[in-house]
Amino acid sequence: MLNCDSSPEEQWGPIPESILTSASPTHSASSWIVSVTLVVFSLALLTMGGYFGYQFFKMLQNSDMEIKNLKQKLESLQNRTKCLYSDSLISENMRDACPESLLKDVQNRVKMLSEALEELKEDKGLNCPFCPEDWMQKGDKCYHISVKQVPWSNCSAQCVLLGSTFLQSGNGELLDFLMPLATHCHWIGLFYKDSSKKWTWIDGSPASSDLNMKESRPTPQSSCAYVTSTGLVSQSCIIPYSCVCEKPALCDM
């Protein structure tokens, strides 16, 4: 009969020593493998973390550079837009600032200044022997053929931009002066006035008989005059040609 008061050794006998010693090496080996695995895994995580951190940092740098480049491009585009906007405003202002009434006012002012200059020359005994570069002188006037080609009606505005007026009047002597300068077709301020049935200058004076207009009876399609190397010719006013501009010669004080 089993005695409950007896010790295990007494009940079952002593535990074999092989059992006590065999469990320890197995447990140590397992612990070492786990530790090594954890270390390797940790190193792998650190390596991956460093790699992804570097890539992220590099990506941030690239993004920063891209942002800077985009900002520069945006600023450049804004500047170009401002320039284009300014140019468009200037063009609109020029169009708005050059209606027919304003052009006539400018022409009248230039005429008044020319007359005042003549009076000053007489009073002071001044000489006006020269014209600006690219302008040709005849007497006390300077003449220039514009580079830009425009319809006849736009020549007044074109000459105002050059600080002058569209050729307002002239005679055969002036025509003889202009013909050798003509390299193509150049508008002058002479047109056919339907109400009077006569060729008239834009200052209101009639054309002199010594102008020798080649087409004395213009059609509605050819009612404006231009000068060539061979004389005066009438043509449709809407065809773009260069313009003959005039202004007073500069005075040598």
Which of 10-19, 149-158, 217-226 bottoms out in mean pLDDT, i.e. has the lowest? 10-19
pLDDT tens figures, 213-248: 765 556 666 789 999 998 899 989 999 999 999 998
Write down how long the chain is.
253
Residue 186: per-residue pLDDT = 95
- What's the pLDDT score for residue 249? 86
Q: Which two tokens stand for residue 115?
A: 């007359």
Give the pTM. 0.51
Give whole-number Cα distances, 25 to 32, 35, 99, 172, in Å.
Answer: 11, 15, 109, 130
Rounded to whole angstroms, the Cα distance separating 247 from 250 reads 9
Mean pLDDT of 29-57: 62
% of the chain residues with pLDDT over 90:
24
Dihedral sign, Cα of residue 172, residue 178, residue 183, residue 184: negative
> Tokens at residue 184, please?
């193509």
